[in-house]
Amino acid sequence: MSLITTLARLEAVGSGRAQPAATVRHRHLSDRPLVFVPLTTAGETGAPLGALVGTDRDAPRLLAVPQPRDRDLRFAFLADLADIVLPYVDAYAASVEAAERTETDPETGKRVKVEAELCADAPQLIVPSRAGLDFVRLLGRSMRFRRTAEQDPDAPYPAPPRVPLLGRWLTHYGERSRVPGSSLLLALTEVLSRHWATGQSGLEDQHLGALLAWIDPPDGLTGAEAARRAELERDPAGQLLCPPAGPATDPAFDNKLLAPAIERYDRARTALAAAEDPLEADDRLAALTAAERDVRDLVASRTRPTWDAVWRGLDLLRALPAGAQVEGRWTRDRWSFTGHRDRVLAGEPPQPRRDDAVTAANKLATREREQGRLEAQEALDDPLVMAGRRLTGEAFAGEVTDVVPAYSEGKRPSPRPLVTVRTDDRPHLAERAKVYRSLNGRPQSAEYVGCEGDGVLVVRILDKMGRGKEPEPGSVPEKGDRVCFTLFEHEQRGGAKLPDPEETPWTHGGPPGEPAPEAPDTVTEEDVL
C-alpha cells in the first residue's frame, strides 16, 4: 500500500466515511451484467447449495439444491445454471462486427493484418467477492470434463447436456479474471476497494457488507459503526443480519437452520419412497415439496441481501465516469471472448488440466504485460493515481518556464527543443533518462538533460514533432503550460517471442506431443461432483 493510499485510509478513519482512491472508473461495466451470487456447502468441494443469478436486479432466478450430497440434484442445479448463463453468452456471441487482427504470416513470417470477426460486446459476469472468483473457477473445472450421455453412452453418471459447455465458459472467465485490468469476470469487493479507501484493513475490505457500509453509510451512522454492524450484528436467533457474501455460509446458519431443513427434506424423501398407496404418496409428495421449499427459502434469505448489495455497489461504480482507456481494455476482453467462442465453435476440446510449457509461459507474459499496461493507463487516466506515482518519484508535473529551440546534429537537422519545467516533485532521474508525456493520447518521449537549481528540470523533446525542420504546432509545450512527464513507458512492448509448442526445449519438458483428449474425472459412489 502506498503512502498516499495509507493517508486516504487514515482520512477515512478520521471522517468516518470511505475516501476516493480513484477519480474515474478503471473497469468496464456492462449495461447488462450477469450477477451471480453462489453459495456452497461447507466441507464439500464444489457442491453448490444454491445461487441467485440473473441480469434483472428486481427478478433474480433462485436456484437451490435441497440435498447437496445428491448427485442428481446437483446436476439439476448445474443444468438450470447452464440454461440461464449460456443463452446470455450466446446472445453476445451472435452479434459481431468486422475488425482487423495482426497475425504472423506462416510463409513469410511477416506481421500482416487479417480480417476477423469481433463480437460487438461481451457478456460480463459479476460475483460479490474474491472467493466467488475461485468458486467460478472451481465450478468450471468440475464441469468441463464431464461427459454427457450423447458424448459417451457408457458414462456411469452422464451429465446433462450443455453442462460441460458451461464448464468451459466458466473456466475461460475464471482464467481471464487473472489478467490485470480485464473486466469479463469481476469480483465486486475488489473493484470497489480499487476505487475507495476505507478506514479498515484490506483484509476486512473483503467483506462486501462492511465495504459498502464505509463507502455509503446509512444516515446517522459512521462508516466504522455501520461496518461493525454489517460484520457482527445478529438477530435474536443468532443469525447474522448481513450474511456473508459467500460462497461459504456462516456456521451458525449451517448448524441451526440449514442442517435441520436438509434433514427434514431427507426424511420426507425417504417417506415418499416408502409410500405404499397413491393417496399416501400424494400427501408425502406435498410434504417433500414443502421441505424443498424450506431449503429454497433459506437459500434465498442468505443470497438476497448480497444480491441487493452487489447492485448497490454497481450503482456506486456507475456514478463514476469511466477512465479514458477503459474502453480499449474492454476491447481486449472482447477479443478474448471472441477467441474462446471460436474455439468452442471449432470443436476444440476443453481447456486441459495443466497447460503445456509454452501456453503457461504465454499466459504469464500476458499477465505481466497487462499489469504494466494497467498501471500506466490508470495513472494517465486519473490524476489521483498519478499523484501516487509522483510521490514515489516515478513522474513529475509542473509549469513550463522556458522553451529553447535546438536541433539534432547531422545532415538533416531535426527539432530537439529544450524545455525547462519547474516542479515541486522529486523524480528519481538518472542522466539522460527517458521521460514520457501524453500528447493527444499518444506518448511523446523526451530525455532528461539536467537540473538548473532546486526543482528546475530541463528535458529535450525527442519525437512526435513531425517531419519538417520546425516542430508542428502544438507538438512542443509552450511557456506557461502545465505538463506531466512520467518515467515509465505508456505502452507495453511485447516480450521475446516464444517458440511454437512443438519446439519446446527439453528444459521445459520437451514438445508436449499430440494432445491426448483429457479423461473425465473418475467417479465414485460417494463423490461430490
Partner 1 sequence: MDKARLATALGAPSGFGQSQFALTRGNAFEAKVKADGGAELLRLVHARLDPGAEAPAGAAVPDLTAHGPEGRTARTALALREAVRAGGWTLLDHPMLALDVAGSLAFLEPDAVVVHPDGGWSVVEIKSFPMVDGSADPAKVGAAARQAAVYVLALEEVAARLDPVPRVHHRVLLVCPRDFSNLPTGSAVDVRKQRAVTARQLARLTRVEEIAGALPEGTCFAPDRSAEELTAAVEAVPATYAPECLAACELAFHCRERARAAGAVTRLGRPLRAELGGLATVGEVLAAAHGETGDPDDPAVAALRRAAALRAEALRSADEAAALRAEALRAAGRAPSPRAEAGEVSACP
What residues contact residue 29 under an 8 Å CB cut-off, 6+ apart? 124, 183, 314, 317, 318, 322
Binding window for partner 1 (CB under 8 A); candidates: 179-187, 377-385, 438-446, 459-467: 377-385
With CB under 8 A as the contact rule, the residue among 62, 93, 122, 226 that binds partner 1 is 226
HSE, side-chain direction, 13 A CA sphere, residue 46: 18
Binding to partner 1 by residue 264, rule CB under 8 A? no
Provide, rounded to whole angstroms, the least separation between the CB of residue 311 and partner 1: 10
**Segment (H or E) for 96:** strand 96-104
Please, are residues 180 and 337 in contact by the beta-carbon 8 Å criterion?
A: no
Nearer to partner 1, 192 or 272 (CB): 192
Distance from CA of residue 215 to its chain's centroid?
20
With CB under 8 A as the contact rule, the residue among 259, 286, 360, 364 that binds partner 1 is 259
With CB under 8 A as the contact rule, the residue among 116, 387, 449, 498 that binds partner 1 is 387
With CB under 8 A as the contact rule, the residue among 59, 237, 279, 319 that binds partner 1 is 319
Site for partner 1 in 119-158 (CB under 8 A): 138, 141-142
Provide, rounded to whole angstroms, the least separation between the CB of residue 475 and partner 1: 24
What residues contact residue 222 under an 8 Å CB cut-off, 6+ apart? 16, 17
Nearer to partner 1, 2 or 408 (CB): 2
Residue identified by cell 474515474 is: 24
Please, are residues 420 and 458 in contact by the beta-carbon 8 Å criterion?
A: yes
With CB under 8 A as the contact rule, the residue among 38, 46, 417, 512 that binds partner 1 is 46
Site for partner 1 in 1-40 (CB under 8 A): 1, 3-4, 6-11, 13-14, 20, 23-24
Give the separation between CA 37 and CA 51, rounded to whole angstroms.
Answer: 5
Residue type, 360: A
Site for partner 1 in 185-224 (CB under 8 A): 199-204, 212-213, 216-219, 224
With CB under 8 A as the contact rule, the residue among 271, 285, 324, 528 that binds partner 1 is 528
**Nearest CA-CA partner of 400 in 492, 514, 480:** 480
Binding to partner 1 by residue 70, rule CB under 8 A? no
Sketch the per residue contact string, 460 through 499, with partner 1: x for CB under 8 A, - otherwise.
----------------------------------------
Nearer to partner 1, 296 or 312 (CB): 312
Binding to partner 1 by residue 83, rule CB under 8 A? no
Binding to partner 1 by residue 318, rule CB under 8 A? yes
**Segment (H or E) for 78:** helix 71-94
Provide, rounded to whole angstroms, the least separation between the CB of residue 417 and partner 1: 26
Rg (C-alpha) for the chain, rounded Å, is 28
Total residues contacting partner 1 (rule CB under 8 A)? 71
DSSP 257: I
Residue identified by cell 523526451 is: 446
Provide, rounded to whole angstroms, the least separation between the CB of residue 33 and partner 1: 16
With CB under 8 A as the contact rule, the residue among 353, 442, 469, 479 that binds partner 1 is 353
Beta pairing partners, 484:
397
Sketch the per residue contact string, 354 through 373, with partner 1: x for CB under 8 A, - otherwise.
x-------------------
Please, are residues 426 and 397 in contact by the beta-carbon 8 Å criterion?
A: no
Binding to partner 1 by residue 43, rule CB under 8 A? yes
Please, are residues 482 and 399 in contact by the beta-carbon 8 Å criterion?
A: yes
With CB under 8 A as the contact rule, the residue among 254, 266, 375, 399 that binds partner 1 is 254
**Segment (H or E) for 380:** helix 357-381
Residue type, 244: P
Give the separation between CA 55 and CA 413, rounded to whole angstroms.
Answer: 61
Provide, rounded to whole angstroms, the least separation between the CB of residue 248 and partner 1: 9
